[in-house]
Amino acid sequence: MLASRWLKAAGVAAAITLATATAAHAVPAPDTAAESTAAAVTLRYDDSRAVGWEAAISAGVASWNANVDNVKLVEAAPGTRAEIQIVATSGWPQATLGPVRPGGQARVELGSQAVTEGHDKTRIAAHELGHSLGLPDTKPGPCSQLMSGSSAGTTCTNAVPNAAERSRVQSAYAGGLASRTPADGRILVDAP
């Protein structure tokens, strides 16, 4: 028993000595801060079950990709896994509240009931993708807030996140990694 404690203590001392000696002669690591902020998290989406929404989804994805740098949305190749499943439904739009992580799973339902009531398809798609990226609703809110959703009225066609919304998504995916806070998995229904 004493011998095993002595060996363990000697091993720890040797490791500390080696680490100290190595650190004294180490070459400074390159500055990777710029690299880590430039590394975007790639999230794949599958819209194969969102027939009739293709143009709105493309425009919503383009809006997010043009306005945030830390995360990029790309269409998944057929037969490959996608973190964001987008489907067309007959109800109200709804989505899983993220931020979804690579390898994770979120669902976006693009409901035709909102379109029937006069809401803009592209705004709906961009808004629901915002939920997957970690943004909750900000209802009631003005048209300038993408996440105000249906509370901005049927005349609102803004599909661009405002500065606060962009900043929140940038923070959630800072450093090339998704936030350590897990997605809570709640489904947010965007009915008025």
Predicted pLDDT of residue 185: 57
Give residue 178's pLDDT.
47
pLDDT for the residue numbered 175 = 77
Which pLDDT belongs to residue 176? 64
Residue 91, pLDDT score: 96
Q: Do 50 and 57 contact (CB within 8 A), yes or no?
A: yes
In the prediction, which pLDDT does 187 show? Answer: 58
The pLDDT assigned to 29 comes to: 39
Exactly one of 35, 54, 75, 128 is catalytic; which is it?
Answer: 128
What tokens appear for 28 in the block? 């400074």
Instruction: Give every residue of the chain whose pLDDT is below 70, as ranges.
Output: 1-38, 176-192
Q: Quick check: is 75 catalytic?
A: no
